[in-house]
């Protein structure tokens, strides 16, 4: 079925009181695997491409330096892949831009085929954040595309998103932000962190989410709260990477118990990236350990070399440049690449499948209304 905007999925989450995991993908194989595992659990799916992930999918292996043109190419590539696997899928699927850096990045994603975008103005003063977000909402809603904003600053590092300290979201400011911008969802800062080093035994400030939702209910405002930086960083996967020669230190995530406790408090969308990166990297390391003859393969030997050179990294993008044609377009030139892609897909499914169950979205796909972008644009006009 065609991709849908985020709004109908948010409405289902809000009505039926569960949370939807939103999972970042950086390759065609990852998008395919993410859709397949959601189908298996009969869950709707939110696939996310971060702003710089679009640069990577546009062929820019040094994606930190990706240009707008790189991002435009990458947005089309990831959207084409997701649409291909969504075409005959029985579940609703959203393609969402994670951490859009500016208006142009959001516009590029929408033009490329994204059905939802996040504009991250959290580092700006409140009024400037409102102005930027409102500009994106006006452009996106006219095209039926949903919008997520952000208020409050998360500590940690993820792509170009970096802050040494966090600033908790002010509930009253959050309500004002919804009123002034018309966003469909809002990422809040309530104790989560970007990256793999969130600290041990993190306790989320769930009272922040409760206060925001209570105020929104009194004001009659619709909106879903989003938990960024919410990877659980499974300890067993970190240990397995290190046992295979990796060097991942001080990696601690948000406990599943804490995340599940936040769902009844108003958190309806939970972003996860690091868990997938770890599982995919572990699987690639394990593959070359179990098949040493593949280390000198003409097609994938370069991946093994990078895995060995960069033992303290776990982002698959650090290791995949030797097979960029496969990353960007899904082309499988030989059996070696096919074997490596298979273990990448298994890693994605392992990380995502667990969280579909934990967050409660399994079996909920039929609850999400199928709405086209054209239909959504008409609805936005009346809101």
What amino acid positions are annotated as catalytic residues?
Answer: 98
- Per residue, the 3-state secondary structure of 182-218, as one string, reads CCCEEEECCCCCECCECCCCCCCCHHHHHHHHHHHHH
Distance from C-alpha of 365 to C-alpha of 373, rounded to nearest angstrom: 18
Distance from C-alpha of 186 to C-alpha of 180, rounded to nearest angstrom: 13
Chain centroid offset of residue 11 CA:
19
Distance from C-alpha of 302 to C-alpha of 95, rounded to nearest angstrom: 31
Which of 67, 101, 40 has the alpha carbon at shortest distance from 363?
40
Distance from C-alpha of 122 to C-alpha of 100, rounded to nearest angstrom: 11
Q: Are 205 and 166 in contact (CB under 8 A)?
A: no
Distance from C-alpha of 294 to C-alpha of 308, rounded to nearest angstrom: 14
Q: What residues contact 346, with CB distance under 8 A and at least 6 apart? A: 33, 283
Q: Which residues pair with 188 in a beta bridge?
A: 151, 227
> What is the DSSP code (8-state) at residue 167?
B
Residue showing tokens 């209570």: 214
Q: Are 13 and 381 in contact (CB under 8 A)?
A: no
Distance from C-alpha of 106 to C-alpha of 227, rounded to nearest angstrom: 20
Q: How many C-beta atoms surround the C-beta of residue 381 within 10 A?
A: 9
Q: Are 210 and 217 in contact (CB under 8 A)?
A: no
- Per residue, the 3-state secondary structure of 221-284, as one string, reads CCCEEEECCCCCCCHHHHHHHHHCCCCCCCCECCCHHHHHHHHHHCEEEEEECHHHHHHHHHHH
């Amino acid at each position: 079925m065609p991709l849908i905007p985020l709004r109908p999925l948010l409405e289902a989450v809000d009505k039926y009181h569960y949370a939807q995991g939103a999972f970042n993908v950086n390759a065609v194989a990852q998008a395919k695997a993410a859709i397949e595992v959601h189908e298996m659990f009969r869950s709707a799916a939110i696939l996310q491409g971060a702003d710089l992930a679009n640069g990577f999918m546009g062929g820019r292996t040094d994606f930190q330096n990706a240009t707008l043109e790189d991002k435009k190419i990458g947005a089309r590539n990831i959207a084409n892949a997701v649409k291909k696997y969504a075409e005959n899928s029985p579940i609703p699927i959203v393609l969402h831009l994670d951490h859009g850096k500016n208006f142009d990045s959001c516009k590029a994603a929408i033009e490329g085929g994204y059905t939802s975008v996040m504009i991250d103005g959290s580092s700006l003063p409140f009024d400037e954040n409102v102005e930027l977000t409102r500009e994106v909402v006006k452009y996106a809603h006219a095209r039926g595309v949903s919008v997520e904003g952000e208020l409050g600053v998360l500590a940690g590092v993820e792509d170009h998103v970096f802050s040494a300290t966090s600033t908790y979201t002010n509930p009253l400011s959050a309500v004002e932000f919804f009123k002034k911008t018309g966003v469909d969802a809002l990422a809040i800062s309530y104790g989560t962190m970007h990256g793999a080093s969130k600290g041990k035994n993190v306790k989320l400030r769930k009272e922040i989410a409760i206060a925001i939702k209570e105020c929104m209910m009194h004001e009659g405002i619709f909106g879903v709260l989003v938990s960024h930086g919410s990877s659980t960083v499974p300890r067993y996967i970190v240990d397995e990477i290190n046992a295979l020669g990796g060097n991942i230190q001080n990696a601690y995530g948000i406990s599943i118990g804490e995340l599940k406790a936040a769902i009844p408090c108003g958190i309806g969308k939970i972003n996860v990236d690091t868990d997938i990166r770890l599982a995919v990297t572990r699987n690639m390391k394990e593959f070359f350990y179990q098949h040493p003859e593949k280390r000198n393969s003409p097609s994938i030997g370069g991946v093994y070399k990078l895995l060995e050179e960069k033992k303290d990294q776990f982002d698959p993008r650090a290791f995949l440049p030797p097979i960029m044609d496969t990353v960007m377009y899904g082309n499988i030139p030989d059996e070696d690449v096919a074997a490596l892609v298979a273990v990448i897909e298994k890693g994605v499914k392992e990380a995502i499948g667990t969280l579909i169950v934990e967050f409660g979205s399994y079996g909920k796909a039929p609850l999400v209304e199928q709405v086209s972008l054209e239909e959504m644009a008409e609805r936005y006009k009346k809101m």
